[in-house]
Structures are given as structure tokens and as C-alpha cells.
Structure 1
């Protein structure tokens, strides 16, 4: 369990760092480019999970197959949510980055009588 947690932290740092660098490098970063960077960094760091699962399960065939099948799933999830991870989404208000668009004044609701 500790090994998988460490592998997850490694993957999170890798994906988050790669997306941060990609989004800061070019002002007009497209969602497709961020998705590619997220998928690539997740696909490259996922073998760390294989290195943890293999000795922990005694290289059990079922466990290894399940872990290998999780690889494309994790790659697609990282690609799909790359704009969320980079903080460039407007779909989730709690992930908004500070900036001119975040400082818009709120519209006031009419008061109830």
C-alpha cells in the first residue's frame, strides 16, 4: 500500500509538473496540447506502479494483468482532466486560477420582499 501511494505521488508530481511547465511556456496553450502532455506524462510514469505491484504480489499473473489494463485508463483520465489539473478550466469553479477573469464582480440578486 505504501509503495502504490508513493507511485501515485510520483505520478501526480510528474503530471502536475509537466502540465504546469506546458501551460506556462506558451500563453495560448490549447486544450489538445495539454491533453497530450498529461497523457504522455501519465503513460511514462505509470511503470513505477508496475515496479511496486510485481514484488508485492509475487508477480502474480492476475494482479499484473489488472495493473497493465489500468495503464491506458490512467492515461486517458490524465488526458481528459489535464486542463483541470493545470488550473485552466471553467467547468469547476474551485479550480479557477486567479486572474482578470476571476476578479469579475458578482451580479447581485434582487432582494426578497
Structure 2
């Protein structure tokens, strides 16, 4: 039971991590190609691309696994109430997603713009996790996407 719920959480986490990974891949790939055309002997853009894509997917998996584990290990009185379950999932996912800021800082050499954008996207991840908390625990009546 625990492994199944964590697997559903990881599925949601991969979807959460795929959004910044896809955006970063498209942006950094353009930068890397431009750098390669200007200086064919230096390829720093591809290492940043790997850090960003791999790190974002890793953070997404971590967000999903920790959120799923928190939901499955929560007491029944908390998991049974939609608002409390969503609040727990949102807080856990939002806190764990702050690791994405570290990934962005490493990939962008501490650029303030990308880090601020990542911090501003944290509430979105919290809301997504809160909305899908019932899907992770299979406590909804509708067919889930997870």
C-alpha cells in the first residue's frame, strides 16, 4: 500500500518536474547551440542543460515521493478530510520544491531572475499537489490522472 501511494506521488512529481525541465531544455539548448556556433571548442551550455534538466526531474521525483510518503503516513483523521489533506500536500510539496531554486542557482550561476521566477512558481506547485492529493491517495470519486 505504501509503495503504491508513493509511486502515484512520484508520477505526479515527474509531471511537476517536467515543466521546468522542458522550459529549461528549450532555453538552454538555444544558448548552447549559439555558443557552439560562436566557439566550437567550448561547450559549457550542454553541462548547464544537463544540470537543469536532470536536477529539475530529480526535484520533481523527490517532491512526489516525499508528498506521497507524507500523505500515506498521515493519520486517518487528516487524510480523510479534503481540506487538511490538501493543506498537508501543499505544504510538503512547496517546501520540497524549494530545492528547485538550488538547481536553478547552480545552472544559472546564481542569476537573480531565474531564481526569483523559480521562487514565484513554488505556490503553483503547492496548489497542484493540494489539488491532486486525493488522486495520490485514491480518495476521489472521479478517475484520476495519476
Q: What is the TM-score normalised by the length of structure 2?
A: 0.58
Moved over 6 A (4+): none
Distance in structure 2 (CA, Å) of the matches to 1:40 and 1:76: 9
After superposition, give the CA deviation of every residue in 1:85-107 in whole Å (9 maximum; x if it has no partner): 11111111676xxxxxxxxxxxx
Query: Aligned residue for 1:26?
Result: 76
Q: Does 1:89 align with 2:140?
A: yes
Query: Aligned residue for 2:101?
Result: 50
Return the match for 2:68 from 16, 33, 40.
16
Output aligned runs, 1:68-83, within 5 Å: 68-83=119-134
How many residues matched?
93
After superposition, give the CA deviation of every residue in 1:27-82 in whole Å (9 maximum; x if it has no partner): 67111111011011112201111111101111122211211111010011111111
Q: CA RMSD in A?
A: 1.8
Distance in structure 1 (CA, Å) of the matches to 2:72 and 2:119: 27
Any stretches of 5+ residues in structure 1 without a counterpart? Answer: 96-113
- When Rg is computed on C-alpha atoms for both structures, the one with the higher figure is 1
Q: Does 1:61 align with 2:112?
A: yes
Between Structure 1 and Structure 2, which shows a larger proportion of helix residues?
2
For residue 26 of structure 1, report the CA deviation from its aligned partner: 1.4
Query: Aligned residue for 2:59?
Result: 7
